[in-house]
Amino acid sequence: MKFFVDTAEIDAIAELNELGMVDGVTTNPSLIMKSGRDILEVTKEICDLVSGPVSAEVVATEADAMIAEGRKLAEIAENIAVKVPLTWDGLKACKVLSGEGRMVNVTLCFSANQALLAAKAGASFISPFIGRLDDVNLDGLQLIEDIRSIYDNYGFETEILAASIRTVNHITECAKIGADVITAPPAVIKAMASHPLTDKGLATFMADWAKTGQKIL
């Protein structure tokens, strides 16, 4: 399973990238706003750092304007995936941009039918938002499972990019279901390393080691 980092914070991306944990990056208008950076500048810096796909989102809502914005974003670097919303206009933009050989990430997906349309429009990635479905008492992980079945039934090559990941358990479950990619905030990826029994066991080892009076170096 590939790990994308859901942030526009350069330092956080760099830290995870050094450990080989970054297969790509996803951004959106809210994350750009949080970064306080210029979209073109920060996206270029991310692309210089990370060789995998870097999603940059259009903000137009009408297909022709989305296509124009998508082309401009794609000029930033070869690894840009143009992100478009799952609207009818977004699907039109997806069809045109993917037809030009560009990677397209169709975002704000909340149903299996939306995912089916994105695949037929040539999306490289479909981004179902797990956490936001859970927020309204729907089952985000069930949507990932449904899309996996549908794509496998028909051999669609669109990658399932599970987004709006809020917990480490979301990541475990996505891996079990067979999501191709998860995108998560840096803190959630780092939290995967934590376990209370690891902390407890380490504390015991350190206490016993101190009693030996030995040193390794």
The residue within the footprint of ligand G3P, chosen from 3, 5, 6, 116 (CB under 6 A), is: 6
- Cβ at position 85, least distance to ligand G3P in Å: 11
Q: Is 200 known to be catalytic?
A: no
7 binds ligand G3P (CB under 6 A): no
- Cβ at position 80, least distance to ligand G3P in Å: 16
Query: Choosing from 83, 92, 120, 211, which is the catalytic residue?
Result: 83
163 binds ligand G3P (CB under 6 A): yes
- Choose the stretch contacting ligand G3P; rule: CB under 6 A; options: 10-18, 126-134, 145-153, 192-200: 126-134
26 binds ligand G3P (CB under 6 A): yes
Q: Give dist(CA 180, CA 184) in Å, integer.
A: 13
Ordered DSSP codes for 101-160? T-EEEEEEE-SHHHHHHHHHTT-SEEEEBHHHHHHTT--HHHHHHHHHHHHHHHT---EE
129 binds ligand G3P (CB under 6 A): yes
Cβ atoms of 190 and 3 within 8 Å: the answer is no
Q: Give dist(CA 174, CA 1) in Å, integer.
A: 9
96 vs 171, beta carbon nearer ligand G3P? 171
Instruction: Specify burial of residue 68 (Cβ count, 10 A radius: 0-12, 13-18, 19+).
Output: middle
Closest C-alpha to 78, from 103, 104, 114, 57 = 103
Closest C-alpha to 57, from 36, 21, 33 = 33
131 binds ligand G3P (CB under 6 A): yes
52 binds ligand G3P (CB under 6 A): no
Binding site for ligand G3P (CB under 6 A): 6, 26, 28, 129, 131-132, 163-164, 166, 183
Active-site residue list: 83
